[in-house]
Amino acid sequence: MTETDVHTLTGPYVLDALPDDERARFEQHLTVCAFCTTEVAELREAAVKLATQVAAPPPPALKTDVMSAIGHIRQQPPLVPGGKDELARRRFSRRSVLALAAAALAVAGTGGVAIDQYRGKQEAVQANDRMAAVLAQPDARTVHGPVKGGGQATVVTSAGADAAVVVLRDLPELPADRTWQLWMIDPNRTAHSVGLASGDLTTVVDGSVTGSVAFGLTVEPEGGSPAPTLPAAAIIPMA
């Protein structure tokens, strides 16, 4: 496991989904990584909010359907330690947990997208699903970087999905006529705009990700600019 992989374990750790060896290593990592320590605290709070804000009663027929299925659905066989079935199931569990972590992140009060920003639960579910789809990709890769003047940017990219989850936290407050602009930078150092932000943000970037070598964040006039204004507030290598 690489150092980058360790940073992706905050969600599984919060949900107690790590095997003992990975849990021990991650807890050791927490003693030296302030970012992951903060993220763990925020995800724990977010998980509570998620449970209370998007909970729904089960369908009336659920119990009947489950009891009916018990008699003809085969039980999973025991896992052979170290076998391929165990590895596959652990991988599926890891991706499922990452998907739930994405949903929790979407309702976090700090640095996330609050449910009340959407007009209804359906839109929130769709946004969560988009984030979960990126985080669950086998090639998902996380990078972090500081923002000039304060704050942090986190980018989870998937070349396979040609998408990224971008999280901006604790950004400095800008004048009313200025905005944050997000960029994906290709190997020719050409910057492609992928959105605007008025403050802290969690969003999914679709497209312009595959082949990009860096993520950029700049301060621009209200409405954005066709090209980034330099110096950038953040340039985070992704390759």
Sheet holding 201-206, edge to edge: 141-146, 152-158, 163-169, 201-206
CB atoms within 10 A of CB 128: 22
Domain spanning 139-237: CATH 2.60.40: yes
Classified as helix, coil or strand, 239 is coil
Classified as helix, coil or strand, 119 is coil
Check residue 138 and give its pLDDT.
83
Q: What is the pTM of this model?
A: 0.54
Tally the C-alpha atoms within 13 A of residue 112's C-alpha that lie toward its C-beta. 26
Give Rg (Cα) of the chain: 20
CA distance to 90, 214, 239, per residue, from 158 (Å): 20, 13, 12
CB atoms within 10 A of CB 158: 20
Check residue 232 and give its pLDDT.
97
pLDDT in tens, 92-122: 444 444 544 554 444 443 334 443 443 445 5
Q: Which residues of the chain have pLDDT under 50?
A: 4, 51-55, 75, 77-81, 84-97, 99-100, 103-120
CA distance to 62, 163, 209, per residue, from 69 (Å): 11, 38, 43
Please give the structure tokens belonging to residue 164: 């990224």
The full set of domain ranges for the chain reads 3-133, 139-237
